[in-house]
A = this chain, B = another copy of it.
Amino acid sequence: MNSFGRIFRVSIFGESHGPSVGAVVDGCPPGIPLSEDDFEADLSRRRAGGEGTTKRVEPDLPRLESGVFEGRTTGTPILVRFANTDVDSSAYDSIRFTPRPGHADFAAQHRSGRAADCRGGGHFSGRLTVALVAAGVIAKKVILPARAEAEVTEAGGAKDPGSTAREAAADGDSIGGVVECRVTGLPIGLGEPFFDSAESVIGHLAFAIPGVKAIEFGVGFVSARMRGSAYNDAIVDANGRTATNNAGGLNGGLTNGNEVVFRVAVRPTASIAKPQKTIDLRSGDSATISVAGRHDACIALRVPVILEAVAAIAFADLVLISKAMASQRGKE
Contacts and interface: CB of A to CB of B under 8 A. Distances in A.
B75 A268 contact: no
Task: Determine which residue in A74, A119, A121, A124 has the highest number of CB atoms from chain B within 10 A of its CB, and name it.
Answer: A74
A69 B117 contact: yes
26 contacts: A1-B26, A1-B27, A3-B195, A12-B194, A13-B76, A18-B66, A27-B324, A29-B326, A32-B332, A69-B117, A70-B117, A75-B111, A104-B253, A106-B235, A106-B240, A107-B252, A110-B254, A155-B224, A176-B226, A177-B224, A203-B203, A203-B204, A213-B223, A214-B223, A235-B279, A323-B326
B324 A29 contact: yes
Contact of A2 (B105, B193, B267): B193
A35 interface: no
A104 B255 CA distance: 9
Interface residues of A, number: 168
Instruction: Summarize A's interface: helix, strand, loop or mixed.
Output: mixed
Interface in A44-69: 63, 65-67, 69
Contacts of A4: 195
B1 A281 contact: no
